[in-house]
Structure 1
Amino acid sequence: MTTLVHVSDLHFGRPAVAERLDALREFIEGIEPDGIAVSGDLTQRCTNREFAQASAYLGSLREIAPYVVIPGNHDIRWLGAVARNLGFAGLLRKGAHNFKYSRYRRHISDDLSPSLEVPGAVIAGLNTAHGISRGSLTKRFRDLGVIGHVKHADIQRVKAAFEAADPGAARIVMIHHNPIRGELSGRHGLANTEQALHSFSDLGTELVLCGHDHQDAVHTIEKGAHGLVISTAGTISNRIKPGRASSFNLVETDEDNLRIIAHSWKKGVGFVPSEDRSFPRRTLSRPT
């Protein structure tokens, strides 16, 4: 059995709640998982102070288990995203691109799309947070800078990570933006959802981890070569949807099954199991 903890949207800054962050770390320490997946939005305002707090917290988690982390839309500097799109003939584009992710890279990681393999599973992290960019534009003005998209180059990163992994390892993709329409928000997080999900499926992905919507949810869909399980983790912060609690997901996988257990915050008690879903693994349809 391989055990992974999937957390998202920590939002260090004013929305962060120390009591819940401490309880989450204690939970992780208690179960000693094989790995930890952190799907973005470490900060609220992308400040150096918030990133320093996030870095210290991730450091405490590293003492328990290896982790893989990607940026979210709150973790990039929007001015850099705008400047990159105004650049001419590449004169400003590279500098603006570096500026956009400069604080994330300084405090968290230079790798925006990292991978992590642990016994029984491989997690291919994929950066979908590009700010205001052509690939993320939609017809809705309120999506500006919030919606993400999957780049072809990052699909190739996923392919390489899967090809290098143990054949029996569960193939997992981690992105920040939710590819399934949120029940409460009514929005997709990705501008190119259909294309991305078909690509993930064709690469043999079994599970997609995401966040962004601040609402825990588990979905199954049929795309491409085979179906996908999509697990959305909620937020640990107080930026919760009405009627929802702070939450994270526990993922368990063995040779035959994939299990996702959502854990929600209960005042005075801590994080308790709130939903438990199991699915048969579809390893027979994996590309060779």
Structure 2
Amino acid sequence: MFRLAHLSDPHLGPMPDARLRDLMSKRMIGYVNWHRNRARALTASWLDRLVDDMRRQAPDHVALTGDLVNIALDQEIAAARRWLDALAPPDRLSVVPGNHDAYVPGALRRASEAWAPYMTGDGAPGVHFPYVRKRGPLALVGVSSARASGPWFATGRIGSRQTRHLRETLEALGAQGVFRVVMIHHPPQRGATAWHKRLTDASRVRAAIKRAGAELVLHGHTHLATRTHIEGPHGPVPVICVPSASNGPGHKRPAARYNLFSIDGAHGAWTCEMEERGFRAQTLEDAGGVDTLARHSLAIPGTPAAVA
């Protein structure tokens, strides 16, 4: 059995001091939003407790689906690299970037350089998306939807070239009979988020999976706990989102959480159990420890349970 942990959107804080010239862009909006809103909800104390619990569960690998930083200052990107190094070694942690990691033009390039060991495919010379990392029976396929967008927008895009490579990669991996896990920051299903936060070419992702297939899709971005699906060639493919890993109780989004997947079996006979772990508390006053919130058995396309 292979155990995969999924967390997303840590939005690492606190916000470092910024020079005025660094804020002469969309960053000014994010800087003000952090100090007025996000700093109260997204705190390191909840993230640290969640990560401690995750370590105790001893997953074989960790998938992190973006938004490590807030407005992509150079100091934030460097601090995120130190946090990644403390979280897990690169061979046990796979990362894809989110829209906050590409907050302004040039930020994604700097983040990719700083976090390269965690976003480089097996045997690849550098960061290229989609990447592939094989771990046990799994093939983790990292897709980048991160793009710099205009003020008040948090959209993503993967582009035609990455879509073509994604389809070809999934087809090749499908022929190998591995359990394909697609990692992407923005949700690929219809209506998953507001128009100004959507994946603008989500239909491309759906078309690639409809043709080539996948066993599981993991994403973040919405800070919600959702289980939906998109169509694959052999049945519905589970699409799972996890709340922000640093969100405290008592706010409009669910408290900090991660998902733990237990994957077993072989091609045509996969089993996948999902355990949601996080904070049950609805307010800061009654906040307790990290606990199991729910357990689910996911129907994997092509297996007898999914077909029945």
TM-score range, shorter chain: 0.7 to 0.9
Instruction: Return the offset for 1:106.
Output: 3.5
State the partner residue of 1:271: 290
**Residue correspondence of structure 1 range 20-39 to structure 2 within 5 A:** 20-39=46-65
Task: State the number of aligned residues.
Answer: 256
Question: Does residue 253 of structure 1 match 2:263?
Answer: yes
Partner of 1:9: 9
1:60: how far off? Answer: 1.7
Mind listing any 5+ residue stretches in structure 1 that lack a counterpart? Answer: 81-98, 134-140
Q: Secondary structure at the match of 1:272?
A: strand
Confirm whether residue 129 of structure 1 aligns to residue 146 of structure 2: yes
Amino acid across the alignment from 1:11: H
SS in 1 for 2:141: strand
Shift of 1:197: 1.2
Relative to 1, partners in 2 of residues 1:116 and 1:44: Cα closer, same or farther, differing over 3 Å? same
User: Are residues 223 and 280 of structure 1, via their aligned partners in 2, closer, same or farther at CA, if it must alter by over 3 Å?
Assistant: closer
Q: Secondary structure at the match of 1:116?
A: strand
Q: Which runs of 4+ in 1 moved over 4 A?
A: 185-188
Q: Shift of residue 284 of structure 1?
A: 6.2
Deviations 1:145-176 (A, max 9, x none): x1112223223443336625883421111100
Distance 1:274 1:63 in 2: 28
Contact 2:180/2:216 (8 A) holds in 1: yes
Deviation at 1:124, TM superposition (A): 0.3
**What is the Cα deviation at residue 111 of structure 1?**
1.5
Q: What residue ranges of structure 2 are gaps of 5+ in the alignment?
A: 15-38, 117-125, 282-286
CA contact (8 A) 1:120 1:169 kept: yes
Give the letter aligned to residue 37 of structure 1.
A
Return the offset for 1:17.
2.1
Q: Secondary structure at the match of 1:215?
A: coil
- In the alignment, the residues of structure 2 paired with residue 273 and residue 120 of structure 1 have an alpha-carbon distance, to the nearest angstrom, of 25
Q: Which amino acid aligns with 2:183?
A: M
Aligned residue type for 2:85? G
TM superposition shift of 1:259: 2.1
Deviation track 1:172-193 (CA, whole Å, cap 9, x = no partner) reads: 111000123677x555731122
User: 1:102: Cα distance to partner?
Assistant: 3.1
Conserved? CA contact 2:46–2:247, under 8 Å: no
Deviation at 1:239, TM superposition (A): 7.8
User: TM-score normalized by structure 1?
Assistant: 0.77
Letter matched to residue 244 of structure 1: P
Q: Which of 26, 43, 47 is 2:73 aligned to?
A: 47
Structure 1 Cα separation of the partners of residues 89 and 103 of structure 2: 29
1:101 maps to what in 2? 108
Moved more, 195-204 or 116-125: 195-204
RMSD of Structure 2 on Structure 1 (CA): 2.9
Aligned-partner SS, 1:42: coil
1: distance between equivalents of 2:162 and 2:240?
20
How has the CA–CA distance of structure 1 residues 223 and 130 changed in structure 2, closer, same or farther, with 3 Å as cutoff?
A: same
The answer as to 2:242 corresponding to 1:233 is yes
Counterpart secondary structure, 1:258? strand
Amino acid in the other structure paired with 1:45: I
Equivalent position SS for 1:28: helix
User: Does the C-alpha gap of structure 1 residues 56 and 258 become closer, same or farther in structure 2, counting only changes over 3 Å?
Assistant: same
TM-score by length of 2: 0.73
8 Å CA contact retained: 1:112, 1:127: no
Match of 1:111 in 2: 127
Choose the corresponding residue for 1:180, options 183, 186, 189: 189
Give how far 1:206 is off.
1.4
Deviation at 1:211, TM superposition (A): 0.2
Other-structure match for 1:244: 254
Q: Please say if residues 37 and 68 of structure 1, whose CA atoms lie closer than 8 Å, have aligned partners that are also in contact.
A: yes
**Which region of structure 1 is more displaced relative to structure 2, 121-130 or 272-281?**
272-281
Give distance in 2, aligned partners of 1:169 and 1:194: 24
